Structure 1
Amino acid sequence: MFNTLKKYAIPLILSHICIILIFALPKPDLWMAYDRRAISDGELWRFLTPNFVHLGVWHTTLNLAGLWFTMLLFINLLKNIDWLAWFAILFVGNIVGLHLWVPSLDHYVGMSGALYGLIAAAAIAEFRLGVKLSGLLLLIVGLKIFMPQLVGVETSYNEWLGGNVIEEAHIIGFIQGLILGLIWPKSRLSEPKSLKARSSMKVEGTK
């Protein structure tokens, strides 16, 4: 039980923070959301905190579902210290990217951009280890991200979510994730058990 809690400590903590902020504070986004003018006035914590606040319950639920999907799929890829580094890089990197490359954006909340970065980083990292299926997942996620640029986003979806989807956040996060997964030292990645078993079988076969 303790080992499982330790293994999933990061998504558990993040989930609790997001849920608490919805129900404990009436308007946490007033001082935690991305706000271009507030950042210009020196409120630099807003480069991190927008990831923890959301448009509402449904937005939070979708983001946490994406978080747990990614972590359950790739949890064994990294040690907790490396996962922590990835989250910090992608959380801050996504908001900084929006600040620099989307000058028309004044307000933003949510972690979906960083989550797309996380799944891209994990998928490309596993692909480097020889997991071909992760390459297919990367392709599917990439298509999902860039398709709205061609067909647009349904207005009804934005209304259901409680605000407009910022597609630029997804694109920036995805690209940042690809770079992170490509440059992260291979020595700090853990091979899936199936690959380890296959490698050991090859070694035994050569004896």
Structure 2
Amino acid sequence: MEPFQDRHSAQSVPTHPPAAAPAKAGAGADKARPPGAAAGFANRRQALARQPWVSYALVLLNVTVWLLTLASGAALLQAPAEKMLTWGGNAASEVQRGEWWRLLTAVFLHSGLMHLTMNMAGLLCTGPTVERVYGSRRFLLLYLGAGLTGSALSLHFSAQHGTAVGASGAVFGVAGALLVAALRHRRFLPTMLSFYTLAGIGLLLLDGMLRGFGSGRVDNAAHVGGLLAGCLLALVLPERISGRGSASQARHRTLAAGAAVLAATVLLAVSAPPAAVDVRGAFQAGSAMEKALRDFDMIMTRMALEERAANAGRMTQSLRVLRQQTVHAQALHKTAEELAAIRLPASDPRAPLLADLQRMVALMEDLARMETGFARNNAPPPPADPARRAEILREVKQLRARIVSWQQTHAGPQR
């Protein structure tokens, strides 16, 4: 690898590191370090101190994408999962339909302000150092490679059942690369700096993993996949601390790293089991159920208004009954057909709600079409089958209570 010249100073990184003093038997780690390690490290750090523009650009890109999703209707603290899917979230059902681009776009999406803040803080803490060690282009390869591998591994776990988003896989990969670089070159670091660097990165990664395994809302598969990919890429990619190797070798190693991460992503993606949940179908079913429920409520409201108008003498009872048996019964039939077209697996928690909605709409259609007797002086006409009418009203009351209870139990932001 050719000696690197700093943009701002004409200082070059030596092509070979200073030789380490031979360690005596039983000597500690400090005696194995070259004399003047602190000064040598300071010189190297100064020589590598070009602006880490890729790190800052990635932070800016992530923040911009989040602001755009916020402007499109996503919530500040927790965006709906359907919104994340629309913007390119990772879901096994969609990737297996051929939308492989979701493995990449999901890396730049965040579900809320706290999610974004934590990931960008992690990137700013580790990214600039890793970018200086490996160079801007190789750092970008490392970041994207770790993110893609994390997304691909998520297809086996979190993305099987929902929509996975976030840069955490890529950030874990960057942290893993920094850990590898610190381990490989700890002999060039001052003793205390080496200890605190390794301990700090280790604790950061351990804390992230423990939080992930302790929460069902965290996609820990992306963390693990990104971390492993970042560590392996850091071992293959040429770095700029030691200055060893030719420019040709550096190019070959970079190409090999890119090919390896692409192969790993494809292998993980194609080996994922069939999606446990059709995420898009589940969202479409939810939207259809919401629409049907709104239509049903609107029909019931109109029927109640017309009944009050007829009782107040503003409409004849015969006209009210006629509209109920024709206009409103037909609207209820259409709503029943829409609900019948919705398909949910038995394991879907909304399946009982759908069944109750279908039954309630069918009962109200029967009630609307029920024949009535004759009434004088614009009095409400009696039902032809009073017992059946009472039975329908009793069951509808029970169904409505169950539907309201379900809605209250499942209220709250989506994942």
TM-score, normalisation: structure 2: 0.38
Deviates more, 1:46-55 or 1:66-75: 66-75
Which of residues 137, 143, 146 in structure 1 aligns to 2:206? 143
Q: Check if 1:39 corresponds to 2:95.
A: yes
Q: 1:64 to 1:103 in 2, by over 3 A?
A: closer
2:234 paired residue number: 181
Counterpart of 2:241 in structure 1: which amino acid?
Answer: S
Gaps of 5+ in 1: 159-163, 192-207
Q: Check if 1:61 corresponds to 2:61.
A: no
1:146 Cα shift?
A: 3.8
Counterpart of 1:136 in structure 2: which amino acid?
Answer: A
Q: What's the secondary structure of 1:48's corresponding residue? A: helix
1:101 Cα shift?
A: 5.6
1:106 paired residue number: 162
1:149 Cα shift?
A: 6.8
1:52 Cα shift?
A: 0.6
Aligned ranges for residues 41-190 of structure 1 at < 5 Å? 41-100=97-156, 104-130=160-186, 131=189, 132-133=194-195, 134-148=197-211, 152-153=214-215, 164-185=217-238, 188-190=239-241
- Distance in 1, Cα, partners of 2:158 & 2:55: 28
Give the greater-gyration-radius structure (CA): 2
1:140 Cα shift?
A: 1.6
Q: 1:101 to 1:58 in 2, by over 3 A?
A: closer
The answer as to whether partners of 2:177 and 2:230 remain within 8 angstroms in 1 is: yes
1:49 Cα shift?
A: 0.7
The answer as to whether partners of 2:89 and 2:109 remain within 8 angstroms in 1 is: yes
Percent identity, aligned pairs only? 22
- Distance in 2, Cα, partners of 1:145 & 1:80: 26
- How much is the aligned-residue C-alpha RMSD, in angstroms? 2.8
Deviates more, 1:24-33 or 1:7-16: 24-33
Instruction: Detail structure 1 runs of 4+ shifted over 6 Å in the superposition.
Output: none
Gaps of 5+ in 2: 1-6, 9-49, 75-82, 243-415
Counterpart of 1:50 in structure 2: which amino acid?
Answer: A
Q: What's the secondary structure of 1:34's corresponding residue? A: coil
1:54 Cα shift?
A: 0.4
The answer as to whether partners of 1:77 and 1:126 remain within 8 angstroms in 2 is: no
1:122 Cα shift?
A: 1.7
Q: Can you list the C-alpha shifts for 1:132-175, whole angstroms capped at 9, x where unaligned?
A: 3343234323422443477x24xxxx8xxxxx222222222222
Q: Check if 1:18 corresponds to 2:74.
A: no
The answer as to whether partners of 1:90 and 1:176 remain within 8 angstroms in 2 is: yes
Q: 1:102 to 1:35 in 2, by over 3 A?
A: closer
Q: What's the secondary structure of 1:55's corresponding residue? A: coil
TM-score, normalisation: structure 1: 0.72
1:103 Cα shift?
A: 6.5
1:201 paired residue number: none
Q: Can you list the C-alpha shifts for 1:14-39, whole angstroms capped at 9, x where unaligned?
A: 22222222222415621311122111
Q: What's the secondary structure of 1:189's corresponding residue? A: coil
Q: Can you list the C-alpha shifts for 1:4-62, whole angstroms capped at 9, x where unaligned?
A: xx723212222222222222241562131112211111111101011111011221122
Q: What's the secondary structure of 2:121's corresponding residue? A: helix
The answer as to whether partners of 1:125 and 1:189 remain within 8 angstroms in 2 is: no
1:117 Cα shift?
A: 1.4
Q: What's the secondary structure of 1:95's corresponding residue? A: helix
The answer as to whether partners of 1:124 and 1:135 remain within 8 angstroms in 2 is: no
2:386 paired residue number: none
Deviates more, 1:103-112 or 1:49-58: 103-112
**Which one has more relative contact order, counting CA pairs under 8 Å at least 6 apart?**
1
The answer as to whether partners of 2:52 and 2:132 remain within 8 angstroms in 1 is: no
